[in-house]
Structure 1
């Protein structure tokens, strides 16, 4: 029998991102993190490029590793005593990346993940370089993975996280209103097919790029929604229970019937 593992409360911060106003957005993030911690959350996840607003065609606010937006998230984590998942436009040897960064309650970097699937319908691949590796971290007994927005449409990435042993994939996003139905379907599908949690954090409001309607939700390992935020500003809370992941997989062991030896040859 596996040793007992404690659940972790996750907060999805569905809040308006003020276009090109990182100072205001990050001050709001600090207040959200403090509130989330006071309500028992140990991890808070902000929407994709929350500090500046998502812009697939702009390299503005690009910064090196450890730059000002990243440093602000680190400070927020340390001050609130909570793990924080934020994002920044990070430059490096490979180019400019749309990256998610995670800081522990001591303000130290736990992991980073660069968006692997760039949104070509909006030309994101013309400005950014895709990532090529997973991003995993732990909070207590729970192992988390990271994906970003458009990544949700690519099931192989989520299967890779299942092989890596995560209990939950956190997904910061800027998913537009007109495709919100896809978002909800895919959150549930990724959770169900991998029998783990998926926590999607969407932004809201209108920018020069699109109109956003939130839709933040947490799907459990059985594919059912555990929490959903609707279309207004909200801090959405849900528990991620690693024991439930184990129970669901034991009661319906679908993974054992996969034909990974065959799929790549078809």
Structure 2
């Protein structure tokens, strides 16, 4: 196979980090059994998500969260599986946590962490500290980028990842409306890359988790509190137009040379009121 196999999870999130951690490990084992190289989880899964499961960070035992995370890291090494895991990441008091995605390699190490840059009004005023940097990482020759939930409303983040060479954008979220899906499909088609959406089971009535192709169509959908396994293959002939034609041409078009070299000097061009 010239591609890479990934798993996208749709678990139910609870306020109990032990229960959440056990569910993560169950789904990791399922992903590995399906020969996935990477498994993606929703926003805020391990710790519980603020505004939903968490009303006050004082109610969260971050020692338990850390212990569960260490078990997940150990299992990632055992299964030789990359894991992208949503959780609050505690900072030094009195600073509020980041809303984060841990990138755990198949050696069981945290190799990077994405901190949500554009938090909602409630998040930034009551619950979280913002991040400021994009995160990209490579697995088996494929480049992944990370975004979280409400960041879907900021198109420049998604075009930034296209310029960084991302082939699959891992979008972990806790959506509140169904238009979220339309935006995700649009970004996949506009940027000509895959978008993998991992959402909690609680939001399945709005849309399912799944993998969106670079042409904006679904490649796979999750059913229930489970996961789906799908392949990314840049040599797929069905994706020739978005991957091999549209994306390179759009990149060239944005540089502008193909237009600047064809600029004309003509009074009928500069006079915009003529017929």
Please report the TM-score for the alignment, with normalisation by the length of structure 1: 0.83
Structure 1 unmatched ranges of 5 or more: 206-210, 262-266
Task: Flag the 1:246–1:72 CA change in 2: closer, same or farther, 3 A.
Answer: farther
Aligned partner (choices 57, 66, 69) of residue 59 of structure 1: 57
Which of 234, 237, 248 matches 2:242?
248
Structure 2 Cα separation of the partners of residues 39 and 45 of structure 1: 14
Partner of 1:92: helix, strand, or coil? coil
Q: Radius of gyration: which is bigger?
A: 2
Which residue does the alignment assign to 1:35? Answer: 30
Determine the C-alpha separation between the residues in 2 that align with 1:42 and 1:153.
29
Q: Which has the higher strand share?
A: 1
Match of 1:6 in 2: 2
- State how 1:19-34 maps to structure 2 within 5 Å: 20-34=15-29
User: Whose helix fraction is larger, Structure 1's or Structure 2's?
Assistant: 2
Q: Which moved more, 1:83-92 or 1:110-119?
A: 83-92
Name segments (4+ residues, structure 1) moved above 6 Å: none
Rounded Cα–Cα distance in structure 2 between residues aligned with 1:171 and 1:34:
22
Deviations 1:25-72 (A, max 9, x none): 1111111101111111110011111123211453243759x9334323
| Structure 2 counterpart of 1:92 | 91
The one-character-per-residue Cα deviations of 1:108-149 (angstroms, maximum 9, x if unpaired) are 1121100111021xx100121111001111110111011111
Deviation of the 1:192 alpha carbon: 0.8
Matched residues, number: 244
Matches within 5 A, 1:148-227: 148-176=148-176, 179-180=177-178, 182-205=179-202, 213=205, 215-227=208-220
Structure 2's unaligned 5+ residue stretches are: 258-275
Q: Root-mean-square deviation (CA), in Å?
A: 2.5
Instruction: Indicate conservation of the 8 Å contact 2:4/2:37, yes or no.
Output: yes
Contact 1:7 1:240 in 2 (8 A): yes
The change in CA–CA distance for 1:132 and 1:243 in structure 2 (over 3 A counts) is farther
* Corresponding residue of 1:71: 70
The two structures have a TM-score, normalised by structure 2, of: 0.80
- Distance change >3 Å, CA 212–CA 117, structure 1 → 2: farther
> Which residue of the partner structure matches residue 233 of structure 1?
225
